[in-house]
Structure formats: C-alpha cells, structure tokens
C-alpha cells in the first residue's frame, strides 16, 4: 500500500468518528500529514478524501491555495516595483498573509458550509517562503464551524509540526492524521 493510500484510509477511519460539537476552533483543525515528495500523488487523490467525507455523512468544500500568491500579486499596485526589487516586498507579505486568510475564511463562511462540513485546504506547499501555515491556521480558527482539514507536506513529532521539513517546527493543537494511523 502506498503512503497516500494509507493516508486516505486513516482519514476515512477518522472522519467516520463522532464529532464533538463543543470544541473550540483550534481543536477543529485536522492536519493530513505526508512527506513533501508525495505532493503530486496526494493531489491526484484528493477526490478520495471527499468521497470518504461524504460517505461519513459530512459535507465537503475545498479551497486550493496554489495560485493564491499569483492572484494577489497580479492585483497589487506595486507589483512591477516588486519584480524589479523583490527584497522590498518583505513588508507586503503581511498583506498577502491577510489575503490568504481571507480566501480560507471565505470558504469557511460559504452558504453551503456548516458545522457538519469539512473544509479542505490544499496547495499549502506553494506558501513556503511566503508565510507560515501556523499563521494561516491561527488567523482562520475562529471561523471554523465544522472541521478544517489542512493537507500538510511535512512531518510531526508529538505536537511539533515541520512544514516541508525545512522550517523550525511549531506547536499546535491540531489533530494529526498520518498514513500509519491505526497501525
């Protein structure tokens, strides 16, 4: 069985468990953790996560952040200056962080999303070097009604998560789902 098949199976078991409706936002976050080289394989199988979610009786919504930076930059009034002098963009990245959080919050607030819906966030690898996943999750956690599933290329030791195996880890309350879950 491949790593991604194992992750889909672990998620399928996990999404079928009863949901505690009294949890706070940070406790409603799930990280589907996989090795960064598995990114393309995971993307090909996201529909299987959706199928498992719906079979468990929950709704599904997905937000893909792959192009979030490109869309944000395309609309930025100083984009040409940033292309000439990228080091000047450091302060503007805070605006991008707010933009990315708004994209996810909009998905969480969509009319068809409720306390029985999983909102899946894919494309997080494209945020590397631009923002931290911990910042994104912190900025949206108060808007989570159902569950927020973050596809997380990296690893975890205890509650310490390392994005793309390259950043210093961060501690988070998220529930980790891994390919070896339940073995």
Residue 73 has pLDDT above 60, yes or no: yes
- Residues 58 and 38: their CA atoms lie apart, in Å, by 26
Domain assignments of the chain as residue spans, ordered by start = 3-177
- Residues 54 and 47: their CA atoms lie apart, in Å, by 11
Which residue would you say has higher pLDDT here, 89 or 54?
54
pLDDT category at 119 given cuts 50, 70, 90 is very high
pLDDT category at 39 given cuts 50, 70, 90 is very high
What would you measure as the largest C-alpha separation in the chain, in angstroms? 53
149 sits in which H/E element: strand 147-157
Residue 1 has pLDDT above 50, yes or no: yes
- Burial class, 121, CB count within 10 angstroms (exposed 0-12 / middle 13-18 / buried 19+): buried
Residue 57 has pLDDT above 80, yes or no: yes
Pairing state between β 170-171 and 29-34? unpaired
- Specify which residues 34 forms β-bridges with: 153
Residue 183 has pLDDT above 50, yes or no: no
Q: What is the mean pLDDT of residues 140-167?
A: 84
15 sits in which H/E element: helix 3-15
Q: What is the mean pLDDT of residues 136-158?
A: 92
Least confident of 16-25, 39-48, 125-134, 168-177: 168-177
pLDDT category at 151 given cuts 50, 70, 90 is very high
Residue 17 has pLDDT above 90, yes or no: yes
């Amino acid at each position: 069985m491949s790593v991604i098949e194992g992750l889909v199976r672990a998620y399928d078991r996990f999404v079928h468990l009863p949901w505690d409706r009294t949890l706070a936002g940070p406790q409603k976050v799930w990280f589907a953790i996989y090795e960064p080289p598995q990114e393309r394989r995971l993307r090909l199988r996201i529909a299987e996560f959706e199928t498992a979610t719906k079979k468990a009786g929950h709704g599904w919504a997905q937000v893909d952040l792959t192009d979030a930076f490109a869309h944000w930059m395309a609309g930025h009034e100083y984009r040409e200056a940033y292309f000439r002098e990228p080091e000047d963009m450091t302060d503007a990245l805070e605006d991008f962080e707010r933009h990315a959080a708004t994209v996810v919050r909009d998905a969480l607030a969509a009319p068809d999303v409720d306390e029985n819906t999983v909102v899946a966030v894919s494309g997080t690898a494209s945020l590397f070097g631009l923002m931290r996943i911990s910042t994104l999750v912190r900025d949206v956690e108060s808007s989570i009604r159902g569950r927020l599933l973050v596809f997380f290329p990296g690893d975890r030791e205890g509650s310490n998560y390392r994005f793309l195996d390259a950043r210093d880890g961060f501690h988070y309350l998220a529930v980790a789902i891994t390919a070896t879950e339940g073995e």
